[in-house]
Structure formats: structure tokens, C-alpha cells
Amino acid sequence: MSTKDFISMADLSQKEIWDVLLMAKNLKKKPFSRKLHGRSIGLIFQKPSTRTSVSFAVGITQLGGHPLILNADILQIKRGESPRDTGRVLSRYLDAIVIRANRHEDVIEMAGFADIPLISGLTDKEHPCQVLADLLTIMEHRKMKHPRELAGFRVAYLGDGNNMAHSWMLAAGSLGMHLRLACPKGFFPLVGYQEKSNALAKKSKGKIEILTDPMAAAKGAQALYTDVWASMGQESEIQSRKQIFAPFQLNSHVLSAAAPKALVMHCLPAHRGEEITEELLEGPQSVVFDQAENRLHVQKAVLAALLK
């Protein structure tokens, strides 16, 4: 990779995304190696985690490395130590840092002062590892041999213009995909991400649209994607968001507008009966647990590429 860190989907070029996905395919076939032999990777969590913590820890172990899981409550960050000082200190002990952080800006600051690779396990603005897993899942279920075949693939994203939406926009822009987002007014993705993803899409011949009509977004889509209506840190808004986002639920009515055999996708954890119905989550077109599994494989590829 040309980058030291993986904090945003925009950190990777189109070819680098291709390379990571191809490496992930190979690592899925042959999961055990010594690519990280003798390496220690710190995993910092400021937010709750199931898939990120377990998949990174298991993946590092399968590559022969040592995962060190660090709850942020036991670090001096909890008492006000700056991200830059934390990054400097950890660079003296570790070979890489994975962090699930409250603030995207803190991750950027830590990476700027750390001498070792830093990987985002989620921030309030992006979730790049999840999108890589989503892309690998689409490739598998559509029997694509190479990631270049993702160009032109049609995805509809329903719900909040949050961190998942941002990372999906950048990925779609880089890979030439056609992405429609259906979000309520006032909950659109940040303007900066709209501008960046549209610039990428212009080069790749992709297309990104932001709509307010979920049926229009779903029309002809080959994959339907959703996320929770209230992200971590927005718990106080749950009740108001339920009312606002109710028309954006991923259900059989929305699925009827999509292409035949469209994939049903969710990054998990899911609130059944809210952003997605039980029928679709457990239905024959659901690939949500394949997405979860593929976190393991793409993250191993990212680690192997960054640490060489």
C-alpha cells in the first residue's frame, strides 16, 4: 500500500482496494500463516465491540501475531492523555494500532504522531473495514472473479447518512459502482463526503445519488443495505429517530422494488423490527452473517498489506 494508515476508504486507490479484496479471498482459503510472526498489534476500544474486537484478535492470531486488547477505560486516554502522546508511546511498544474511537479527528491525530500503522475499527465518520467485508460478500455471492466486476453494481442504502453511508460512498466512488442513498431530510451524509465521493465517481464512471424516497432508491438495486437508526452515542435520540426513520425500514415492500434475488445486507448489530424486518434478516436473500464473517478475512489482508 502507498499509505501508512487505513482510516478512510479514501486512503486506498482503486487498485489497492482490488488488491486487498483479492488477498482476502486467498486468506479465506488458507487462513493460517506467519505473515505477522513476532508482531504485536494493540486493539483500542472506546466503544462497545463484538465483530471488530473478535475478528481482529482472531485474525492477528491466525497470521502468527499477538493481539493486545486494550479497553480505553484502562488507558490514560480516559484521564485526558492526548491522542498524539498515546500514539507516540504505543509506537515504542507495538507494530500497529487498531482503534475504535469516539471521534474521527482523534484517530487522525494519533496516526499523525504514531510511527506505526493505524487502522480504524470505526469512528463517528467512517467504518472502512466493514465496507471491505461488504464488497467481498457481494463478490462471493455474485461469483465475481475480480473486484473490477463491482463496477456498475447497483446498491441502495436506506437510513441515516452516518459513518457507514460515508464509507460506502467513498468505496462506490472509487470502484465505479452505482449507489443510491435514501435518507430523511436533515440526515443526509456530510457535504464533504458527498463532494469527495462524487469526485471519485467522476473518474471511475460511477454514480452516487442521495434521495428521500426509499422506493425510488431501491428500484432495480442488486443489493439493499441498511444500518441502525441511532448509532453509538445517539441513544438519547432513539425514540425521535424511530418516528423519523420508520418509512425507511428495509422490508418486503422495499425488496419488491429491487432487482430479482437482490442481496439483503446489514452491518450488524440489527434491531429487528426497526430498520429491518425479521423476515428479511432471516430470509433467503440475507447475507448479513457472511458480511460479519468476512470482516475477519479483509482485516487480515489490511494488516498483512500495511505490515508487509
Which residue intervals of the chain are DSSP H helices? 14-29, 51-62, 83-91, 104-113, 128-141, 163-175, 191-204, 214-218, 238-245, 252-255, 278-281, 288-307
Active site residue 100: yes
The residue annotated as part of the active site, out of 104, 180, 295, 297, is 295
Active site residue 127: yes
State yes or no: pLDDT of 66 exceeds 80: yes
Work out the percent of the chain whose per-residue pLDDT is above 70: 100
**pLDDT confidence bin for 74, thresholds 50/70/90:** confident
Domain membership of residue 2 (yes or no) is no
Instruction: Answer yes or no: do 116 and 134 share one domain.
Output: no
The residue annotated as part of the active site, out of 227, 249, 297, 299, is 227
DSSP SS3 for 154: strand
Active site residue 241: no
The residue annotated as part of the active site, out of 46, 130, 222, 299, is 130
Active site residue 76: no
Instruction: Answer yes or no: do 181 and 213 share one domain.
Output: yes
User: Which residue range is the domain that position 210 belongs to?
Assistant: 128-291
> What is the number of alpha carbons within 13 Å of residue 308 lying toward its C-beta?
7
Assess contact for 302 and 35: CB atoms under 8 A: no
Domain membership of residue 162 (yes or no) is yes
Instruction: Answer yes or no: do 211 and 243 share one domain.
Output: yes
In this predicted model, what pLDDT tens digit does every residue of 132-161 receive, in sequence order? 999 999 999 999 999 999 999 999 999 999
What pTM, to 2 d.p., does this model score? 0.97
Q: How many domains does the chain have?
A: 2
State yes or no: pLDDT of 93 exceeds 90: yes
